[in-house]
Amino acid sequence: MPSPGLPVPRFPFLVFLNLLFVLVVLQNLMPRLLPSSGLDVDLPRVISSEPVNKNSPGLILERNGGIYLDGVEGPASSETLEIFLDGLKSRDASVLIKADRRATIGQLTRIWDAAREKGIRQISIATND
């Protein structure tokens, strides 16, 4: 028991507070200091089960987002694309998408989703392989 007149030591509280501060700082800094390592995954090459027919109607996607349709002169509008896809659905046909190497995935996905919404079941993407 401390003698009267002397202050009560607050040492354990300060140690706990300092330890807590160090742990919080380390918890926030460790993810930034340690190099993040991803998994090296070799994905298999996909080979379509059916060869694409050269007579399949196709879409050409340019790097600037322009869409050209088989049998349509000049870039296609959204309405023209919808009419084209409706015609493919009625014939139960597949569609072949030929995309420029510099076209974005977002542009390709937009066309893919539009074809799926119209009920087209077979959508192929042309590659160089």
Digit-coded pLDDT (tens) for 56-74: 677 888 888 788 887 676 7
Q: Tell me, yes or no, if the pTM score tops 0.75.
A: no
Does domain 58-125 fall under CATH 3.30.420.270? My reply is yes
Residue 119 has pLDDT above 60, yes or no: yes
User: Radius of gyration (Cα) for the chain, nearest Å?
Assistant: 31
Reading the block at residue 4, the tokens are 């009267």
Residue-level pLDDT at 70: 76
Q: Is there a contact between 57 and 81 (Cβ–Cβ < 8 Å)? A: no
What angle, rounded to 10 degrees, do the helices at 78-90 and 105-117 form?
Answer: 50
Look at phi and psi of residue 49 and say left if phi exceeds 0, alpha if psi is from -120 to 50, else beta.
alpha
Whether residue 129 is predicted with pLDDT greater than 50 in this model: the reply is: no
pLDDT tens string 4-40: 776 666 667 778 888 999 999 998 888 777 776 777 7
